[in-house]
Chains A and B, each alone.
Chain A
Amino acid sequence: MGDSVGDLLVLVIDLHPVWWADHSLTGVVQSSLVLSNAHLLQNPLNKLCVYGYMNTGVYKLYPTEEDLVAGESTAGKYEGFDVVNTTILMRLKDIMLECRDPEEHKQLDGSLLSGALIQALCHCNVMSKNLAIGNILNSRILVLKGSPDSRSQYMAIMNSIFAAQKNKVAIDSCVLGEDSTFLQQASEITGGTYMRVQDHGKLAQYMLGVFLMGVEFRKSFNTPPASKVDFRAACQCHSKMTDLGFVCSVCMSVYCGFRPICMTCNAHFKLPTALLKGKKVTGKRKLENGKS
């Protein structure tokens, strides 16, 4: 074990303008600032990084390049809070001013969670590479998400989750809107905590109560129980969740029934292997399974 170098907390905040049109962003931003300050207060060596993301792009709110050059020595000191808060708020204002036309946003696909996760992981990676040999930086990412998942990001998000797992970066999720299967899987696989907060007024309490703690400390407390994660696959043909499927041996596409040609890779299939194998798989058993 090397010297303690503090923890790195990366906050990733969903700023999807259409979703926030119906919800109050102010409370979420204030709670995030409370959490950021509390995190920096815990240990003068603690590090912070904040990203905002929406459907038009991913924005680094803190630290910006100037903060890094000028503020390295003041970061974490008490007078540093002011810098943190004003930087984040100013950047947010700039971004918000840029997106005036709601029609334009409705044209676009959902918030770019995949891009935000990927950039956050790049940041964690660079931070850990800049340490002296033997020192380990504990990094975690907290995603504050409002808008719904968008299916087109599935592959990028899964690959980021695996990258986070390999680099021992936990992904915490605080979901403000409907449940997110992406983040449920992310938290489950990387060992983070997934939580859905319906009362946005209590957000700051949840943040301080659950997400301020490092992942390893949470084991000793009664943090919210792991949510049920749906690890079933969605079929290519109907986008329906299925618990019994056929997988293309070439491209791993999942189908809910047998089909002669793969939709993704155009492979031509023979009879299902279950039939060729000749083992005791019969249609009869399906009867027992009334769940689907």
Chain B
Amino acid sequence: MDEEGDGYRWEGNYEKTWELIQETDGGLVDTTTTNAKREKRRLIQQRLSNVKLGVMRHVFLVLDQSVNMEDNDLKPSRFICLKRLSEQFILEFYDQNPISQIGVIVVKNGKGQKISELSSNINKHIANIKAQKACEGQFSLYNGLEIAFKTLSSMPSYASREIVIVAGSLTSVDPHPINDMLTQLAESNIRVSVIGLSAAVQIFSRVSAATGGTYNVMLDEQHLQELLRLQCAPPAATPTMEPSLVKMGFPPHVTEGPLSLCQCHVDDKSKAELTTHGFTCPTCASKYCEVPVECKICSLTLVCAPHLARSYHHLFPLAQFTETPTEELIDDSMVCGGCTKTFGNQKHVYRCETCNSYFCYTCDIFVHDMLHHCPGCESRPR
């Protein structure tokens, strides 16, 4: 499915949604539109297989806050809807890229404003986005990019530098020719991806093409959510990204220590509390309630081993299973290698090429979206 060729809802083909309805084993009706999801995943994986990824990322989220965001084609209004989806995006992003950093910029009145500094503090980002109220003035692509550029260009070169713009405007009020900015961005290896809310705009597609990003125009709210989710998967590494050994601390979790203040709430008088638990920086012994965090005192990145493990499924993805018509199965009593149920009246089964186990539709989706390991392969003696 080519995103650009998709067109608008009303231009699209008549969708026979009822044909997607499948009867599951429980006799219940499952209105799955996940066939498309499976296809999409296959495409993403094709693109990413055998490609080195940039799993450490610095990403600026640039949100359009011009008057164009007051339209109510998204409910209740574009901006309110976008605020909600951005929150989801940030949560999903940190879930998949826990040792990456996000910053947030809003553009209104033709000016960009950094509302959340590049960091891994999820709650702060979400609070800062929530605090944004009125949409004013015009959108400025140049100004938004410039602010993100200034910060990103000074970030270490082993990490992937990205800007994700969500724009509802069809115009941009720029103080300087955008081409200068494009050269600078390309030179600093900053990838700009744009998600449009209304119609395709030539300048946006040029910016993303010139910097190696993606450009998509959303169809509806669900599609917008999907487009944001796609940005959560780490992109391919650029050739100029230099591999590097990054010094990190794995702080021990103290549960019953002496009462002490944590560094994360120390600035906020109302929330600063003496606690007995937290993570202590291995070099300077300052305490934090949550990791990952960059130590404020010695600037060491503090993480836990599970945080690193969350990136593994991007680095070592599970190969796609082969779709086979159920009739071709020789043995009628064959069961799904995941849920051990018989295939019943399902039209297709899915086979793992490594262990030759067969899986039902539900398990195929679950295994690839969630588990990232084949139940058959993992249950074989080694």
Interface residues of A (CB under 8 A from B): 53, 55-58, 60, 65, 68, 108-109, 112, 114-116, 118-119, 121-123, 125-126, 129-132, 152-156, 158-163, 166-167, 185, 189, 226, 228-234, 242-252, 254-255, 258-259, 262, 265, 267-270, 272-274, 276-277, 279-281, 285-286, 288-289, 291-292
A118 to B255, CA, bound (A): 31
A58 to B380, CA, bound (A): 8
8 A Cβ contacts from B336-376 to A? 336, 338-342, 360, 362-363, 366-367, 370-373, 375
A119 to B360, CA, bound (A): 13
A247 to B155, CA, bound (A): 17
- Count of residues in B whose CB is under 8 Å from the partner chain: 69
Q: B128 to nearest A CB, angstroms?
A: 26
Q: A116-B379, A163-B370, A163-B371 are in contact. Are A244 and B246 (CB under 8 A)?
A: no
B248 at the interface (CB under 8 A from A): yes
A83 to B193, CA, bound (A): 58
A285 to B282, CA, bound (A): 9
Q: B235 to nearest A CB, angstroms?
A: 13
A-B contact pairs, 16 of them (CB 8 A): A109-B381, A115-B378, A118-B378, A119-B379, A126-B338, A126-B341, A153-B378, A159-B313, A228-B255, A232-B252, A249-B56, A252-B308, A273-B156, A280-B298, A280-B299, A281-B298
Stretch in contact with the other chain, from B66-74, B101-109, B110-118, B236-244: B236-244
B36 at the interface (CB under 8 A from A): no
B363: nearest chain-A partner, CB-CB? A122
Q: Cβ of B341 and Cβ of A243 under 8 Å apart?
A: no
A-B pairs with lowest CB-CB distance, top 6 = A115-B379, A267-B243, A122-B338, A130-B26, A231-B304, A115-B378
A167: nearest chain-B partner, CB-CB? B370
Set of chain B residues within 8 Å of A262, measured between Cβ atoms: 243, 245
Of the candidates B253, B311, B342, B375, the one having the most CB atoms from chain A within 10 angstroms of its own CB is: B375
Q: Cβ of B366 and Cβ of A125 under 8 Å apart?
A: yes
Q: A125-B362, A132-B28, A166-B370 are in contact. Are A68 and B338 (CB under 8 A)?
A: no
Tell me if B's interface is mostly helix, strand, loop or mixed: loop
Q: Cβ of B247 and Cβ of A126 under 8 Å apart?
A: no
Q: B340 to nearest A CB, angstroms?
A: 5
Q: A14 to nearest B CB, angstroms?
A: 14
A280: nearest chain-B partner, CB-CB? B298
Q: Cβ of B28 and Cβ of A155 under 8 Å apart?
A: no
Q: Cβ of B243 and Cβ of A158 under 8 Å apart?
A: no
Q: A158-B309, A250-B243 are in contact. Are A119 and B338 (CB under 8 A)?
A: yes
Give the contacting residue for A233; candidates B243, B250, B298, B312; CB below 8 A. B250
Set of chain A residues within 8 Å of B306, measured between Cβ atoms: 158, 161-162, 185, 189, 231
Q: A108-B381, A119-B375, A126-B341 are in contact. Are A245 and B243 (CB under 8 A)?
A: no
Q: A141 to nearest B CB, angstroms?
A: 14
Q: A68-B341, A228-B255, A289-B283 are in contact. Are A279 and B299 (CB under 8 A)?
A: yes
Q: A112 to nearest B CB, angstroms?
A: 6
Chain B, residues 290-301, CB within 8 Å of chain A (1/0): the string is 000000001110
Q: A243-B252, A249-B56 are in contact. Are A273 and B247 (CB under 8 A)?
A: yes
15 new A-B pairs (CB below 8 Å) besides A126-B366, A166-B95? A56-B381, A65-B341, A108-B381, A118-B367, A119-B375, A122-B371, A125-B363, A158-B312, A166-B370, A228-B255, A233-B250, A262-B245, A268-B243, A269-B245, A273-B244
A277 to B244, CA, bound (A): 13
Set of chain A residues within 8 Å of B52, measured between Cβ atoms: 250, 265
Set of chain A residues within 8 Å of B122, measured between Cβ atoms: none
Set of chain B residues within 8 Å of A231, measured between Cβ atoms: 250, 252-253, 304-306
B333: nearest chain-A partner, CB-CB? A65
Q: A270 to nearest B CB, angstroms?
A: 6
B315: nearest chain-A partner, CB-CB? A251
Q: A112-B378, A160-B371, A185-B306 are in contact. Are A252 and B315 (CB under 8 A)?
A: yes
Set of chain A residues within 8 Å of B381, measured between Cβ atoms: 55-57, 108-109, 112
Give the contacting residue for B248; candidates A155, A245, A268, A270; CB below 8 A. A245
Set of chain A residues within 8 Å of B24, measured between Cβ atoms: 129-130
Q: Cβ of A277 and Cβ of B284 under 8 Å apart?
A: no
Of the candidates A65, A108, A285, A288, the one having the most CB atoms from chain B within 10 angstroms of its own CB is: A285
Q: A65-B341, A119-B338, A129-B362 are in contact. Are A247 and B285 (CB under 8 A)?
A: no
Give the contacting residue for A228; candidates B253, B300, B375, B379; CB below 8 A. B253
A78 to B264, CA, bound (A): 54
Set of chain B residues within 8 Å of A115, measured between Cβ atoms: 375, 378-380
B278 at the interface (CB under 8 A from A): no
8 A Cβ contacts from B45-72 to A? 52-53, 55-56
Q: Cβ of B363 and Cβ of A126 under 8 Å apart?
A: yes
Q: Cβ of A246 and Cβ of B299 under 8 Å apart?
A: no
Q: A60-B340, A130-B26, A243-B282 are in contact. Are A270 and B242 (CB under 8 A)?
A: yes
B327 at the interface (CB under 8 A from A): no
Q: B367 to nearest A CB, angstroms?
A: 7
B148 at the interface (CB under 8 A from A): no
Q: Cβ of B362 and Cβ of A126 under 8 Å apart?
A: yes
Set of chain A residues within 8 Å of B8, measured between Cβ atoms: none
Q: Cβ of A119 and Cβ of B158 under 8 Å apart?
A: no
Q: Cβ of A247 and Cβ of B248 under 8 Å apart?
A: yes
Chain B, residues 183-218, CB within 8 Å of chain A (1/0): the string is 000000000000000000000000000000000000
A189 to B309, CA, bound (A): 13
Give the contacting residue for A162; candidates B283, B308, B310, B363; CB below 8 A. B310
Set of chain A residues within 8 Å of B53, measured between Cβ atoms: 250
Set of chain B residues within 8 Å of A242, measured between Cβ atoms: 250
B159 at the interface (CB under 8 A from A): yes
A243: nearest chain-B partner, CB-CB? B282
Set of chain A residues within 8 Å of B249, measured between Cβ atoms: 243-245
A233 to B370, CA, bound (A): 23
Give the contacting residue for A159; candidates B250, B366, B373; CB below 8 A. B373
B372: nearest chain-A partner, CB-CB? A159
Set of chain B residues within 8 Å of A57, measured between Cβ atoms: 379-381
A114 to B309, CA, bound (A): 15
